[in-house]
Structure 1
Amino acid sequence: MTSENIKIARLIQNDIESISHPFKQMADSCGLTEKEFIIIMKKLCQEGYIRKFGAVLRHQKAGYKKNSLISWSVAPAKIGKIGKIFSSFPFVSHCYERKPAFEGKYNLFTMLHGKDEDISFLANKMAASTEINDFIILETLEEYKKTSPEYF
């Protein structure tokens, strides 16, 4: 990446102001026109440097107060299929396969978010859809840090 690309990446990885032309303000700080800035951003997307660009919902402010990490024990031969099924649930924000370090058997992890729904009800719904019944619910008690990573 060029130094100009890195400067743009630094700007867009932070919060974007809610103003009519946020990219113009960023472009000005780089000595670029708004059009040049957007062209470079599009190029970074096309080249795969930027994977995704979008809004981040503050789930607690939106009423989603409950969230838990669910650890699942899934047979290695079924993990891809089960991961796709779990990923299709709208209340699942993350779904990862990991080495089974936790008790030597829990290898699939999902993050669930709910409003008034009981997380155990949602987890049991997932279990029923896949016949995976060996899972542990790790409820979030306190959030100490939640930020997007900064790379530059």
Structure 2
Amino acid sequence: MKFTWPPTDTLRPLDLEAHRRDPSSAPTIIRLLNETDAAAAWTVLEDSREVGWVAVRTAPLDGRPAGVARAGLRAPDPIWPIEESMLPTSSGDALRLVQRLALERPDGAAFVVVQASWSWVVGDELVVLSSSSAEPALAELLIARIDALAAKIVIDA
């Protein structure tokens, strides 16, 4: 599957492949993305400042309806209602989910993570863009940037 982004200076590729064999020297975000089988990932920039990341994954539908496959994108215990909407894109409509989760750091301090995903059915696969941020002020900016890119992404099976 091929993903073509619109021309942009908003994205910088993250080198996941360089750390798949030996993750010990990888930055934390790359280790985490590799653990979730991300096919590719990018840092999202705003005026040359990193505001977050976005990763792409694919999953076979295996005869399941898209809604069943997408159920796995939902967090089991969000702290606010899940925001769900359809986003028209050049590759068809994408389901966008935005969820807020309460998590705890190893030292016991609580914090909120905003998770967002965009998903398309392409052939017999589900294509998912995902991102998250522990900084609510940046989360909205990150989601807006990815919305703009997702609207123009071209996905070829």
Q: Same fold, TM exceeding 0.5?
A: no
User: Which protein is bigger by CA-based radius of gyration?
Assistant: 1
More strand by share: 2
